[in-house]
Chain A
Amino acid sequence: MKYYFIVLLLSITPRLFAQHEVSGKVTDADGIPLGGVNISVPRTSLGSVTDFDGFYTIQATSAQDSLTFSYIGFKTQTIPIAGKNQLNVVLSEDTEQLKEVVVTALGIKKETKALGYAVQEVQGASLEKAKEPNFISALSGKVAGLNIKNSTDLFQNPEISLRGESPLLVIDGIPDRTTDLWKVNADDIESISVLKGATASALYGSVGRNGAIMITTKKGKEGKITVNFNNSTMFQPSFIRVPKVQTTYGNGDNGNYAYVNGGGGGSEGGGWIWGPKLDQPDPSTPSGYMETPQYNSPINPETGERIPIPYISRGKNNIENFFRTGLVQTNNLSIDWGNDKANYRISLSNVYQKGIVPNTDLNNTSFSIGGTITPSDKFKVASTLTYNKQYTNNFPAVGYGPTNYLYNLVLWTGTDVDVRDLRNYWKEEQEGYQQRHYNTSWYNNPYFQAYEYLQGYDKDNLFGNLAAEYRLLPEITLKARAGANVYGLQRTYKEPKSYVGYNEKSLGNFTVQNTNYFDITTDFGIRFEKDLTENISLSGEAAYSGYYRIQNFHSTSTDGLNVPGFYNLDNNAGTTLIGENREEKEAIHSIYGFVDLGFYDAFYLSITARNDKVSTLAKGYNSFFYPSVSGSVVVSNLTEMPDWISFAKIRGSWSRVSDGKIEDIDGLNANNPYNYIQAYDKGQPWSNAEGIRYPSSQYGRLLISDALKPKTSDSWEIGTDIRFFRNRLGIDIAYYQAKDYNNLENIPISDASGYQGYLLNGNVYKRKGIEFTVNATPVRNENFRWDTQVNFSQYRRYIDEIYGDKEYTEDRLKAGDRTDKLNNVSVYQTDGLGNIIYENGFPVTDPYGRYVGYTEPDWTYGFSNTFNYKNFTLSVLFDGRIGGLMYSSTNQKMWWGGISPGTVNQYRDDANNGESTYTGQGVKVVSGDVTYDSNGNITGDTRQYAPNDIPVNYISFMKTTSNAHNENYHYYSQTFIKLRELSLTYNVPETLVAKTPFNAMSVSFVGRNLWLSSKIPNVDPDPGKDNLQAPSTRSLGFNFNLKF
């Protein structure tokens, strides 16, 4: 169908009007060909681009036309054709005035040299080839200071932090407070600007206080009609990291295993993998191996008892056998067209993702239109509208517990169970009522989980904006803009009977949740722009901005199901349905403005100011003002620089941003606009003996100050941007510091005061960080070009003042400590020399939390390279982190449950034989005592020690300690390096393309997440946390791009 559409479009391609052909070669001053130079015929839609060797051909309307040659970093030239057919052009580098522009706050394009703060831009083209399911993941390693922690699970948001905080997402100048990372298709992205720090986005108001990721979507381009088709198919055929488990011992406890019914006590019900050795020869059995009744044993029809079957390691390949090859397929078709009066673009995209878990997938379809009309040079209207649908019948549940696939498949299943034997997942004659599994108390059969426990998600997004400008006077422009986000989301949860939850078995349940969302942001402004003198430019804007949001949430659940597998609220088995609903409304009214001044093309100054009135703080405290100032000096324009310095700039900024919304406070609903109000919450309704039902209430757990002020950050930043050797080498360094005060925080108070905490303006934090970006083009010659970028960054946050002059915070941090210090970790007691203290052979828990390290990485880095050789482009991106600890549930549970390869040893064999032979390394107390002050400091210590010599049962020891003291209490270093992206693109040469109906063709072979080296075992440290994540997959695929 799509094919016919393309053919139809082809037939209307306006190629036929051209009358005069010009060709030639474009080079730089050194004679090196310039590929990708834009050539256009002014006042027409005609245009062309040079190929890699610098050659071009263009059809002009007449021999009297001119041709305009433009190329980033070079001076634009317009040359009359003057009847010629051959026109070779030498472009000179624009070294003194490097006209790089980036998109800044409010969508305003500014020259980079005028910016007093750090901005880094990523071109949409670099996201097109190696596709990730969402565009944010594709930014990994590309921007200094932007740290993306990618999830390995299907349809889970990556964790994004910009300078340690969560940035705002802005689409075409309109803040997207829904932070839906899935609703913009990478193919529709023209460019992404990352505005770091508060100054850059002070104009968005409070939401922009942590910086912004600004997405500019593609618009129609001036020129002939272009049809672009992009297909990308990525497979996930293998894993770069899966938990490595032992296959020596099977399910059971203390070396015993005998299946009874999968649910009782004894050696099977507990679900441990501390069972007997597998594959043990036993000449007395028919199979020659040790045999025992198992869940899949045949039943003796006479006795009704299970017939023992060999206890062997059938399930060595459970991971490979259960998970399937994942797939991400992206198709995009776009058409754009434009002239100097109007342009227009239509885009249709679909991303289909097939999960590695059977019966899981995700569809993500977008249709967007956008365009600009400029009927007169005084008036301009631009608009875009996107409809996006995200839809799945089932995507996997995540987190540690029986909803997790690895939990059921690897962590808690010994290799005596072969997952292929579980494909039939209902217990015989109990279909719909009882699943079949080797253990039905704690775990779910993974197939049962995949095919019967279904999480549906259906979201309709509609978002767009309209912006109009009218030039009243040559210097004065009126502006109006509005952007809206609307969505409807329905989520369903289908839970079959006998489904195992964390602590109990389900009676079967069905839950439907609906959310309706609407927000609108409107801005009206007046812009003034004038060059006061030849050397002084002035521009400024004053504007009003309004924001309004309404959101309704509703959830209804059954209380058990009558008929199994029939998911409807009517099928409720309980006496009543369980429901919940919530309504939220909020608004912000703001006035803001800015002034930009430029002197002598060398000094730039920008001042912003804003006043917000918010509905999310109490009257009297909800209107507040905050300013910023930033500036830059282009040193290379001031003084004569040595030849090898092409550009040098220093920049600096200071800003204050205040935020009047109480966001993520433990015990309050995140993002709830009413969090400043002290009120009653719903309690647990209860029925009396006669069955009469009473509702109940409870007063909130936090005491909320009635004088809450907005929280405020003051930050400053300095940086430099220096380029050498005709821009072949560029270095950008940024250093920033921020002080966060008046933080809206839950300050812990004594529980005995009646509240767990007091929500007030308290605590002062300092943040600081440094970012380096080095760009270089080490090689550039006729056929070969190598571009490389290295970026690395460090971020630190400190607690500066603790509210109420307390000595310690709840995490046992002192003023001046880094906030990522792990200083309150439950550990075992030591004798002061680092030896663990044992009692009765078991380590003794320290009643005070202790220090184990820091969580924030020392450095986050990315290293990207692009090699162009003739028509081939090879891109390679490595990224990673150095230092910082993360807690690993997977590793802890592997030791605890008996599946860790480290548990294969003689002590375990001894324990299986009933012998207690494991003596933990450390000491025991033979006499004396220890006393502590209330900070856990030892005040008196008369303990005398002897080496621990009490052997204990190895299995009991591991079940009690998880080997924590030997594994840094399961805090592991995050240090890793990853081959994030590798792509090889072949741009079909124009000479070949000319023989096809196409204008341009390219094909790429791409890979993502290809290789990993890390300090932490068994899990991919990329997500920065491990709560039993899916195994990390390798993606391989290809990309086709066709232009008509």
Chain B
Amino acid sequence: MKNIYKTLFITLFSSLSLGSCTGIDDLQDDPNRALEVPPELLLTQLETRAFNTISLSAALATRQLVFTDGVNSDQYYNWQRSGFNAYEDLKQVQQMVLEAERTEMPAYKSLARFFRSYFITGLTRTFGDVPYTEAILATEGNFAPAYDTQKDIYLSVLNELKTASEELAENGDNIRGDVIYTGDALLWRKLINSYYLRVLLSLSNKTGDADLNIVQRFREVVNNPGTYPVLASAEDNGVLPFHNIEGNRYPLFQNNGLQTAYYMEKTFVDRLKTLQDPRLFSFAQRTPKAVQQNMEVTDFEAYNGLSGSAPLDENVDIAGNGDASMINERYYKEAANEPGILISYAELQFILAEAAYRGWISKDADTFYKNGIKASMEFYNIAEEDINTYLENPAVQLGENAIENILTQKHIAMFMNTGWQIFFEQRRTGYPEFDVSGGGVLNNGRIPKRWMYPAKELTQNRANVDAAIERQFPEGDDINAEMWLVKKE
């Protein structure tokens, strides 16, 4: 009898022990994630980040749209801090470099030079000095990188972009994972060289700086189209297509806010009306009153905006009375709508027009200017005869206020695309004028010149951010302070 229980116990004992046989070491590989990936997987990710440039905030800050659900800091110019999220993108660039080296695919390293330049430029123009040479070195133990001066960053960016374009002429025959140009290296070189010209123009306050040598660099590209091809037509535009697929849709598709609380800005609408610009019909809806009165879509009088600088309640009242135009329905009803633009042929033409007008290159500014307008209008599917009529409009001619006119056209062409680019163009040139005349504007009626550094830098990288603030801004980390880029030399 006794032995039966012993046997029973041992049987139970051994059957239970089956449950605990799994070795620890066998369970230490993550079946859900990869330790290494081909660089193309990172390229796709970077492209969807860099080219997805739709920003409602930028539209509010650049007097294209108005918000009526509260006092918005972008619209009323009392914003404070911005973020360092772009360093996350810069890390993915760094990973693409590592994976390109591992797999010996140098084209991705060259593309990485472009993306690195693109993201760091976005950071430095927002804040001023930012970490660059010491950035993305956490894996080497640098958790609090020093800040580089803005000038050094721009110098580096200019060289990197040039190198990227030159290298891709040699190594660019095997680019996969490319949702922008499907691996066409020539198109990438065109995009990079055009972007290079954009960066050079953004330094127009620094023409006297011998280190940068902006004008010479600009000429080098324009005068050597064989070595430095640029975007030749709207076909070459650097754009991210949106699709009716989950995650790939136009970012504002089905957006509730856009349908209920955003209106066209008055100075913008009035400008389009003055210029008799048919792009208005593609940007905006008629006012509810105009719809009620059965006014034509092509009747400029059917459109009206809200003043971006007026007090909130005034705007709410006008909108409530049906006297304000909303954005065109396609922005929230069409899943693909229009692509996200990083840089377009139209913008390049405006860049060249301005450079020609400034005498950087000896070409005809007016031709570039009109090419730019034409390309932009074609982007919005304006009929050719309407384009021609528009181009003949005396108010549209380049004339004496050439810079203002070019920037005004750039502002129109960049409606709801190209991110914050037009804000920085306006900061550089003062054109087009952003209205601050109304009683609603905060920040003492000024347009901020920058953003404050992220609060996290104050806790995690204080010595370096303090040093950067001190050497740049005697008034402290202030949104109205002027960074190197903005100062005329």
Say which residue of B19, B95, B144, B461 sits within 8 Å of A520 (CB atoms): B19
A735 close to B (CB within 8 Å)? no
C-beta contact mask, A473-508 vs B, less than 8 Å → 1, else 0? Answer: 000001011101000000000000000100111010
Contact at A842–B42, with CB atoms within 8 Å? no
Measured CA separation A557–B17 after assembly (Å):
40
Taking the nearest CB of chain A, how far is it from the CB of B456, in angstroms?
A: 6
Chain A residues in 8 Å Cβ range of B134: 752
Q: Do A688 and B241 touch across chains, with their CB atoms under 8 A apart?
A: yes
Residues of chain B lying within 8 A (CB to CB) of residue A680: 33-37, 41
Docked pose: A583 CA to B131 CA in angstroms = 39
Determine how close the nearest CB of chain A comes to the CB of B75; give it in whole angstroms: 12
B residues near A839, Cβ cutoff 8 Å: 78, 442, 444
How far is it, in angstroms, between the C-alpha of A684 and the C-alpha of B41 when the chains are bound? Answer: 10
Whose C-beta in chain B lies nearest to the C-beta of A443? B256
Contact B12 A468 (CB under 8 A): yes
For A559, the chain B residues whose CB sits under 8 A away are 245-246
Instruction: Kindly state whether residue A847 has any CB partner on chain B within 8 Å.
Output: yes
B394 at the interface (CB under 8 A from A): no
Categorize the interface residue count of chain B: 35 or more
Question: CB within 8 Å of B: which of A658-686?
Answer: 673-674, 677-681, 683-686
Residue from A272, A575, A751, A810 with most neighbouring chain B CB atoms (10 Å): A751
- Known contacts A265-B263, A753-B144; decide if A376 and B1 are in contact (CB<8 Å): yes
Chain B residue, CB-CB nearest to A701: B88
Task: Please tell me if the beta carbons of A470 and B136 are within 8 angstroms of each other in the complex.
Answer: no
Tell me the smallest distance from the CB of A346 to a CB of chain B, in Å.
23
Candidates B241, B245, B458; contact of A934 at CB < 8 Å: B458
A328 to B182, CA, bound (A): 61
B320 touches A934 (CB 8 A): no
CB within 8 Å of A: which B300-324 residues? 311-313, 316-317, 319-322, 324
Residues of B within 8 A of A265 (CB): 68, 259-261, 263, 288, 319, 324, 326
Cβ proximity bits A492-528 to B, threshold 8 Å, 1 near / 0 not: 0000000010011101000000000000111010000
Beyond A750-B145, A808-B459, A931-B476, whether A270 also contacts B260 by CB under 8 A is yes
**Interface 1/0 per residue, A599-628 and B, CB below 8 Å:** 000000000000001110011001000000
In the complex where A254-B313, A753-B138 touch, is A691 in contact with B243 (Cβ < 8 A)? yes
- Is the beta-carbon distance between A587 and B177 smaller than 8 angstroms? no
Residues of B within 8 A of A441 (CB): 256, 259-260
Q: Assuming the A-B contacts A691-B243, A934-B466, are A442 and B260 also in contact, with contact meaning beta carbons closer than 8 angstroms in the complex?
A: yes
Given the known A-B contacts A480-B13, A582-B32, A755-B138, are A615 and B24 also in contact in the complex, defined by CB atoms under 8 Å? yes
| Most A C-beta atoms less than 10 A away, residue of B33, B243, B255, B452 | B33
Q: How far is the CB of B342 from chain A (nearest CB, A)?
A: 14
A749 on the B face (CB < 8 A): yes
Interface range on chain A (Cβ under 8 Å from partner)? 35 or more
Of B43-51, B354-362, B399-407, the segment with at least 4 beta carbons within 8 Å of chain A is: B43-51
**Interface check A935, CB cutoff 8 A:** yes
Check if A754 is an interface residue, CB within 8 A of chain B: yes
Minimum CB–CB distance for A954 against chain B, Å: 9
Chain A residues contacting B464 (CB-CB under 8 Å) are 750
- By a CB distance below 8 angstroms, the chain A residues around B476 are 931-932, 939
**Contact partner, B71, options A522, A695, A842, Cβ 8 Å:** A842
Q: Which of B56-71 contact A (CB under 8 A)?
A: 68-71
Kindly state whether residue B8 has any CB partner on chain A within 8 Å: yes
Q: Measured between alpha carbons, how far is A544 from B16 in the docked complex, in Å?
A: 12
| Most chain B CB neighbours (cut-off 10 Å) among A685, A694, A750, A845 | A750
| B437: Cβ under 8 A from any A Cβ | no
| In the complex, B395 has a CB within 8 A of chain A | no
For residue B248, CB closer than 8 A to chain A, the reply is yes
Q: How far is the CA of A806 from the CA of B243 in the complex (A)?
A: 47
Q: Does B165 contact A (CB under 8 A)?
A: no
Q: How far is the CA of A589 from the CA of B27 in the complex (A)?
A: 12
Question: Which of B16, B44, B81 touches A683 (beta carbons < 8 Å)?
Answer: B44
Mark each residue of chain A from 332 to 368: 1 if its CB lies under 8 Å from any CB of chain B, else 0: 0000000000000000000000000000000000000
In whole angstroms, what is the CA distance A839 to B76 when docked? 12
Q: List 12 A-B contacts (CB under 8 A).
A: A379-B9, A381-B12, A470-B9, A548-B19, A575-B245, A585-B31, A614-B24, A686-B247, A694-B40, A697-B42, A699-B92, A754-B138
- Please give the residue numbers on chain A whose beta carbons come within 8 Å of chain B beta carbons, in ascending order: 252-254, 256, 260, 263-267, 269-272, 375-376, 378-379, 381, 441-442, 466, 468, 470, 478, 480-482, 484, 500, 503-505, 507, 520-522, 524, 544-548, 557, 559, 574-576, 578, 582-587, 589, 613-615, 618-619, 622, 673-674, 677-681, 683-699, 701, 703, 748-756, 758, 804, 806-810, 812, 839-840, 842, 844-845, 847-849, 911, 914, 916, 929, 931-936, 939, 952-953, 955-956, 959-960
Residues of B whose CB lies within 8 Å of any CB of A are: 1-2, 5-6, 8-9, 12-13, 16-17, 19-25, 27-28, 30-37, 40-42, 44-45, 47-48, 68-71, 78, 80-81, 83-85, 87-88, 90-92, 94-95, 130-131, 134-139, 142-145, 177-180, 182, 240-241, 243-248, 253-257, 259-261, 263, 288, 311-313, 316-317, 319-322, 324, 326, 439-442, 444, 452, 454-462, 464-466, 469, 475-477
